[in-house]
Amino acid sequence: MNEQTSGESFKSAQRVTKTPGGISFGGSLLFIFPIPLFMAVAVSLGRGDFSGVLGNASAAILFLIGSLTLRKGLQTERAYNAKKVAIAPKLPLKLTASIIVGIAAALAANIGADHSFLVATCFGIGAAVGCVLAYGTDPRKEKVAKAGYGYTTAEVVAALEEAEQRVRKIESARHHIHNQELKDRLARIVVSARKVLSVIEDDPRDLRRARKFLNTYLEGARKVTEGYAKAHKKTQSDELEANFRNVLVTIEEVFDEQHRRLLQNDVLDLDVQIEVLATQLKREGIL
């Protein structure tokens, strides 16, 4: 496994973490369809046509629900595609959205445009099929971890997701720290941690060797960072800052060393560096 491969995977991992919370323009076209329906609601209301109000409003709301469901499905699909090891989404969101859009189209055609039930049904089927053709189907297959490493795909995915949650919490705590030097160190630690995660994603057999790192020391880094961020709000202490800086220096060294050894497939453990970090974290009351 080389640095270039790891770098590419790391960039992919960064995209994954941003996609679920980001804004997607996929499926935005569907948000246009409710506009004339809401206008039709106003017209029906003016005429005193209660069934028209109910039908057009229901169709418009269903279009909105379908659009939002489709957008979520597209975001989920992008996150899935960016990962090398992944579990298929449990809910077929894009298919669900297509069905909702089909029902909305049929309802609008039957009540809004006064078409017969048969014609409206054809409109609904056409809208649903068109949605599937335009946006595709949901991923349904696992991206399987390499066999023979002692972990299932689900276990690898769970370990990576749990570790990523810890990294995000470190990032979140970092925003509450005002010392730029400490913020820079934490930024580098986050980068190193994600590099380790990308190496494990490339080669899941590394998970066994990195278990202690992920479950103990990444968690310790999260706790000590969050603890300092909370204490920093209440009091300004040079001693506290110095102790935190010393811990971060060791964490950064251990994380970088873990990444380097995983890349080299070095079977030697990081006992010396890890014990130093463990001692410091125990001193801080973290372990």
3-class SS at 151? coil
Closest to 265 measured CA to CA, from 205, 197, 189: 205
Strand partners, 86: 143
Task: Using only the alpha carbons of the chain, give its radius of gyration.
Answer: 26
The pLDDT assigned to 22 comes to: 39
- Helices 117-135 and 93-107: crossing angle, nearest 10°? 150
The pLDDT assigned to 279 comes to: 64
CB 261 within 8 A of CB 270: yes
CA dihedral sign, ordered 162, 167, 170, 171: negative
The pLDDT assigned to 265 comes to: 62
The pLDDT assigned to 166 comes to: 93
CB 277 within 8 A of CB 217: yes
What span, in angstroms and rounded, lies between the C-alpha atoms of 70 and 143? Answer: 22
Strand partners, 211: none
The pLDDT assigned to 267 comes to: 42
Amino acid at 71: R
**Which pTM value belongs to this model?**
0.55
Closest to 144 measured CA to CA, from 84, 90, 92: 84
> Can you give the residue ranges of every domain in the chain?
3-135, 153-283
Closest to 32 measured CA to CA, from 69, 3, 7, 64: 64
What span, in angstroms and rounded, lies between the C-alpha atoms of 232 and 241? Answer: 8
What span, in angstroms and rounded, lies between the C-alpha atoms of 83 and 13? Answer: 7
HSE-CB for 11 with a 13 A CA cutoff: 5
DSSP annotation of 143: B
* Tens-binned pLDDT, residue by residue, of the chain (287 aa): 443 433 443 344 343 333 333 344 556 667 777 777 777 777 777 777 777 777 778 888 898 999 999 999 998 888 777 776 667 788 899 999 999 999 999 988 887 777 888 999 999 999 999 989 988 888 887 766 554 456 777 778 888 889 899 999 999 999 988 889 999 999 999 999 988 888 888 777 777 777 777 887 888 889 888 888 888 777 777 788 888 888 888 888 888 887 887 777 644 444 445 555 556 566 655 44
What number of residues does the chain have?
287
What span, in angstroms and rounded, lies between the C-alpha atoms of 255 and 154? Answer: 25
The pLDDT assigned to 274 comes to: 54
Taking the CA atoms of residue 224, residue 227, residue 231 and residue 237 in that order, the dihedral angle to the nearest 10 degrees is -10
The pLDDT assigned to 169 comes to: 93
CA-based max dimension of the chain: 81
